[in-house]
Structures are given as structure tokens and as C-alpha cells.
């Protein structure tokens, strides 16, 4: 009887074929012949993670540990730093509205002094408040509009906050707007409260004025007083 050979293809796993030859009985002949049309599978992928992923994970872990150590060693802010930060925020807001609205009085010491280069003009928080009440009263009675621009910087070396402000006062009684510029120095005490406010470098319409005469000159300009509006 002639021998008969039958070929049986059995797909046991993707990418491999078992070839079985049957001749007068069943014999299984394993073969690792890859198939050309078999799709790629996970079995063919390398089992080790790429080196760059391992390095990235290691760097991420190191950064996390560094942040944990930094957070543990970071000290809470002191009372001075908290009060100084509050003063900066309040002065930034009040610098543009001092002629129209109440200031944030919580940043000032009860012993605050209002001064200029010639000396102290007011002592104590009550008198300091009264000065700004007069400014607001003068503005409501004599001035139609006030606009203020300012620049703030912190002078840590001298423990103070410096504001350069530039204001324009408009009134129907004056032919042109009145420009008033000045520099305010706010000195802080040991707790971070404002203990002194010094006004310096006052200019009215580009002319340097001493602080003690600037108020009188402003009244003259607004009311059309004896002085010229723009002296030569």
C-alpha cells in the first residue's frame, strides 16, 4: 500500500506553525517556521522597559523627594512679613483713591507720624485720619475730578515702602488741569505696621514746591487766587 503523507497545519500561537506528517500513523513534527502574514503581538515586544523611561522615572522621583524636603524645611512667614505684605496690598489700592475714599487704616500704627523734610506735621492715627478727611472735603467742594497714577517699590534695606504718585486735578474754576506729583515714604516698625509717612519732592505743574507751601498753592490754583496759574 503506497504510503500516504498528509500535512496538517495547526496554528498554536501567532507567528508559528506546527507541521505534522502522517505516514502509516500520526507523527508530530514541531517546526518554528514564522508566518509572513501574522500580525505583531505583545509576545514579540521586548520585556524590558526602555532605558529612557527608567531614567525619567528616576528623575521624577528625585524631584519629588527634593520638593518634599523643601516643603519640610520651609518656615512660616513672620508677623513682620505678613503685615508688610498686607501694607503693600493696601497702599497699592489706596494710592489711586486717597482723594475719594477712606483708606485701609489697619496697616498703620497708632503712633504714626505725617512728616515732610521740614518736620512732623501730624502725630497719631486720629490726626492722620483728619488730614485725609480735609483732603477729601477739599476735593468734594472744589475739584471736579482727580486721577492718580503711581509706582510702588519696596525698600527692604531701609524698612520702608516707596510710592511715586502722579495726580491730575480738574476743576471748572481753573483753565487747565492741575498736575501734582510727589514721593511718599512709608516707614515700617518692627511688626510691619506703617509708623511714619513722609511726603517729599512735591511738584505742582512741574514746579518744585516745599511741602509746607504746596497746600496753600493748590488752594490758590483751584480758586483762581492771587498767584498766576502758570507763572513764567
Q: Which of 125, 99, 127 is nearest to 189 (CA)?
A: 125
pLDDT of the residue at 118: 78
Lowest mean pLDDT among 77-81, 201-205, 214-218: 214-218
CB-count exposure of residue 87 (10 Å: 0-12, 13-18, 19+): buried
Give the range of the structural domain holding residue 18, as residue numbers without chain letter.
6-73
Relative orientation angle of helices 125-142 and 211-223, to the nearest 10 degrees: 20
Kindly state whether residues 113 and 203 are assigned to the same domain.
Answer: yes
Give the whole-angstrom CA distance, residue 22 versus residue 85: 92
Kindly state whether residues 184 and 199 are assigned to the same domain.
Answer: yes
Kindly state whether residues 94 and 154 are assigned to the same domain.
Answer: yes
Cβ atoms within 10 A of the Cβ of 91, count? Answer: 22
**Using 50, 70 and 90 to split pLDDT, how confident is the model at 157?**
very high
Kindly state whether residues 151 and 183 are assigned to the same domain.
Answer: yes
Which one is predicted more confidently, 47 or 217?
A: 217
Kindly state the average pLDDT of the residues 18-30.
Answer: 46
Among the three residues 51, 73, 95, which one is the final residue of a domain in this structure?
A: 73
Lowest mean pLDDT among 23-27, 76-80, 106-110, 168-172: 23-27
Alpha helix ranges (H) inside the chain: 51-73, 79-94, 125-142, 211-223
Q: Are 160 and 185 in contact (CB under 8 A)?
A: yes
Q: What is the pLDDT of residues 25-60, one digit of tens each?
A: 544 445 555 555 555 555 545 555 566 665 566 667
Kindly state whether residues 90 and 68 are assigned to the same domain.
Answer: no
Backbone angles phi, psi at 77, to 5 degrees: -65, 150
* Per-residue pLDDT at 21 exceeds 90: no
Kindly state the average pLDDT of the residues 84-111.
Answer: 96
Amino acid at each position: 500500500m503506497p504510503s500516504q503523507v498528509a500535512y496538517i497545519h495547526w496554528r498554536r500561537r501567532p507567528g508559528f506553525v506546527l507541521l505534522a506528517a502522517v505516514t502509516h500513523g500520526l507523527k508530530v513534527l514541531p517546526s518554528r517556521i514564522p508566518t509572513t502574514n501574522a500580525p505583531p503581538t505583545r509576545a514579540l515586544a521586548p520585556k524590558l522597559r526602555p532605558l529612557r523611561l527608567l531614567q525619567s522615572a528616576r528623575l521624577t522621583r528625585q524631584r519629588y523627594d527634593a520638593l518634599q524636603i523643601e516643603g519640610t524645611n520651609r518656615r512660616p512667614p513672620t508677623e513682620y512679613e505678613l503685615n508688610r505684605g498686607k501694607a503693600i496690598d493696601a497702599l497699592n489700592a489706596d494710592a489711586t483713591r486717597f482723594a475719594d475714599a477712606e483708606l485701609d487704616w489697619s496697616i498703620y500704627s497708632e503712633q504714626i507720624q505725617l512728616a515732610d523734610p521740614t518736620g512732623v506735621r501730624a502725630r497719631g492715627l486720629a490726626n492722620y485720619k483728619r488730614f485725609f478727611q480735609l483732603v477729601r472735603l477739599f476735593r468734594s467742594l472744589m475739584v471736579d475730578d482727580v486721577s492718580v497714577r503711581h509706582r510702588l517699590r519696596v525698600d527692604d534695606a531701609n524698612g520702608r515702602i516707596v510710592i511715586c504718585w502722579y495726580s491730575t486735578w480738574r476743576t471748572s474754576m481753573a483753565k487747565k488741569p492741575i498736575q501734582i506729583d510727589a514721593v511718599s515714604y512709608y516707614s515700617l516698625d518692627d511688626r510691619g505696621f506703617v509708623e511714619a509717612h513722609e511726603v517729599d519732592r512735591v511738584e505742582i505743574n512741574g514746579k518744585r514746591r516745599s511741602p509746607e507751601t504746596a497746600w496753600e498753592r493748590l488752594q490758590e490754583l483751584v480758586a483762581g487766587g492771587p498767584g498766576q496759574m502758570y507763572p513764567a
